[in-house]
Amino acid sequence: MGRPITLVTLQWADMPLEVLAKKASEWGYDGLEISCFGEHLDVGRVLEDDKYVRERKDILERYGLQCSAINSYFVGHSVCDHPIDERHKGILPEHVWGDGKPEGVKRRAAEEMRKTARAAELMGVANVNGFAGSSVWTNLYWFPPINDDVISGGYKEFAARWMPVLDVFGEVRVKFGLEPHPTQIAYDIYTARRALEAVDHHPWFGFNFDPSHFILQMLNPKHFIEEMSERIFHVHVKDTKLNIDGRGSILGSHLRHGDLRRGWDYVSPGRGEVNWDEIIRHLNAIGYEGPLSIEWEDSGMDREWGAIEALRLIREHGFESSSGAYDAGFAN
């Protein structure tokens, strides 16, 4: 059997987990990547209520689904984000937002990520995916000129805030996969290397590989697989369509997703620039055997239609590696 194909639940947070689980099972998914958001998974309840844990597991078992990962994007992002402001209030749990004072938010977010590691252990899940934030992303464009110490300081802050969190991940033997992404401390190969160095190549820190985020930066995602082969803990299936027509830039032009004037946008897998055959071949080459988790984001398509189409596409492309060269039989 090939790699399991799972569905990220974050984009379905308005739907009860059981309703989504039933649909995903009927569509043919092997499992869910459950988001610590909305009704889907409450980290605090996991830690405090054995009955709640059993209920969550029962939902999966009832529909023949597995859970190979959970994710916490909004909380993880707030550990190092800058600035912390009213935007975060709407995406964070009330107990993490608190009084909204930035330093307090960051500390509470870090504590929530430690709890998330322990919750993953109790759920029997080996991977937590998410963001880490970045205090230097706002300095992406170096004008006015920025002192190198500012950028170095950002990576030092990342290490200072995340090392204690990663140590808890190590204690419970759960991997944390940072998703390289614009606004994060790692968004391409060079920044990923620097992030690894900042946390002294912590053994429980790696990456959730999502090719769509490299495409929107006009990078070839296969190179990340080659460079970070030992640190790819998990894989997302998402696609990006470029529309570089001389009018809009890859910066998005302050236009919302779904606006056809954007220089790029997320689209259903198979409808963008990601070469899925190439991606699967490179994952095979590094021996990746984990899930292919479909994170469906396409503002121009019905999501249920897209979830079904995406699953069909990845089933067709999810071939396993050959046991030998095509001409190996000639010698016999």
Q: Is the pLDDT of residue 325 over 90?
A: no
Per 3-state DSSP, what percentage of the chain is helix, strand, and coil (rounded to 5)? Answer: 45, 15, 40
**Domain residue limits, the chain:** 5-240+274-331
Q: Taking 90 as the threshold, does the pLDDT of residue 321 lie above it?
A: no
pLDDT grade, residue 2 (50/70/90)? confident
Mean pLDDT of the chain: 95
145 SS3 class: coil
Given this model, what pLDDT does residue 102 score?
98
Residue-wise pLDDT tens digits, 46-95: 999 999 999 999 999 999 999 999 999 999 999 999 999 999 999 999 99
Residue 332, pLDDT score: 60
pLDDT in tens, 165-202: 999 999 999 999 999 999 999 999 999 999 999 999 99
Would you tell me how many other CB atoms lie within 10 Å of the CB of residue 69?
A: 29
Q: Phi and psi at residue 131, in whole multiples of 5°? A: -100, 165
- CATH number for the domain formed by residue range(s) 5-240+274-331: 3.20.20.150
Is 80 exceeded by the pLDDT of residue 317?
A: yes
The answer to whether the pTM exceeds 0.85 is: yes
E strand or H helix that includes residue 76: helix 73-78
Query: If we measure between CA atoms, which residue out of 257, 156, 242 comes closest to residue 197?
Result: 156
Q: What angle do CA 98, 104, 109 make, to 5 degrees?
A: 80
User: Which pLDDT tens digit goes with each residue over 131-167?
Assistant: 999 999 999 998 999 999 999 999 999 999 999 999 9
Q: For residue 329, is pLDDT > 80?
A: no
Report residue 30 as tokens: 């092997």
Distance from CA of residue 5 to its chain's centroid? 15
Answer yes or no: is pLDDT of 285 > 90: yes
Whether pLDDT at 33 is above 70 = yes
Mean pLDDT computed over 277-294: 97
54 touches 61 (CB < 8 A): no
Count of CB atoms situated within 10 Å of the CB of 49: 12
By the 10 Å C-beta count (0-12 exposed, 13-18 middle, 19+ buried), 274 is classed as buried
The percentage of the chain sitting over the pLDDT mark of 90, rounded to a whole number, equals 94
Would you call 240 exposed, middle or buried from its count of C-beta atoms within 10 A (0-12, 13-18, 19+)? buried
